[in-house]
Amino acid sequence: MIKIDLILLPFTILEETLKEFKEYGKEDLEAFAIWVGIEENNTFIIKKVWIPTQYNTILSYYVSDIDVHTINVDLNKKNYSAIAQLHTHPGDAFHSCVDNSYSILTLPGSLSIVVPDFGNIPIRGGLNDMVVYRLLDNEWKLQSKSKVNKIFKITN
């Protein structure tokens, strides 16, 4: 993942992701998703959003070890890899201590995206209303808006 410098994100996947998040939000629950797809040279093409089995509260989500294992088995089966993990917050988006230490994605260069307001954000804003972190040198580092806009390209 570390070599990826361009991520193609279909608009429909962004739309589906926010729709799923808002469903959980209606119940006042945080939610978790991953964007999966294929790597081609230094480009990652997002093919699907997956909503893994999870346990949710207003302030957290949890994916059990066995369900993380299932994700990895499914990735292998489809020849996909996971480029980004996403989760919602009830209010502001930031990476909490829990978010830092408890991550499903562990490969260097993976992304972690926090979506504010349970996903009730304008979709046309793309990733501009979200905060994006990248796993570099074993740390989730906040990516500037300009970096995010350079790496992510929303496609039709």
Position among 64, 96, 106, 155 found at the interface with Zn ion (CB under 5 A): 96
Structure-block tokens of residue 31: 């939610």
- Residues in CB range of 79: below 8 A, 6 or more apart: 38
User: Smaller CB distance to Zn ion: residue 10 or 110?
Assistant: 110
Regarding 85 and contact with Zn ion (CB under 5 A), the answer is no
User: Smaller CB distance to Zn ion: residue 80 or 140?
Assistant: 140
**In the chain, which residue ranges form alpha helices assigned H by DSSP?**
11-26, 65-78, 97-101, 145-151
Strands of 32-40's sheet in order across: 139-142, 131-136, 111-115, 81-88, 32-40, 43-50, 6-10, 152-155
Give the nearest distance from C-beta 39 to Zn ion in angstroms: 27
Phi, psi (rounded to 5 degrees) for 37: 175, -150
Quick one: which segment of 70-78, 90-98, 102-110, 130-138 binds Zn ion (CB under 5 A)? 90-98
Regarding 99 and contact with Zn ion (CB under 5 A), the answer is yes
Regarding 20 and contact with Zn ion (CB under 5 A), the answer is no
User: Smaller CB distance to Zn ion: residue 82 or 112?
Assistant: 112
Give the nearest distance from C-beta 89 to Zn ion in angstroms: 5
Single out the residue of 13, 18, 4, 3 nearest to residue 36, CA to CA: 13
Total residues contacting Zn ion by CB under 5 A comes to 2
Q: Please give the residue ranges that form the binding site for Zn ion (CB under 5 A).
A: 96, 99
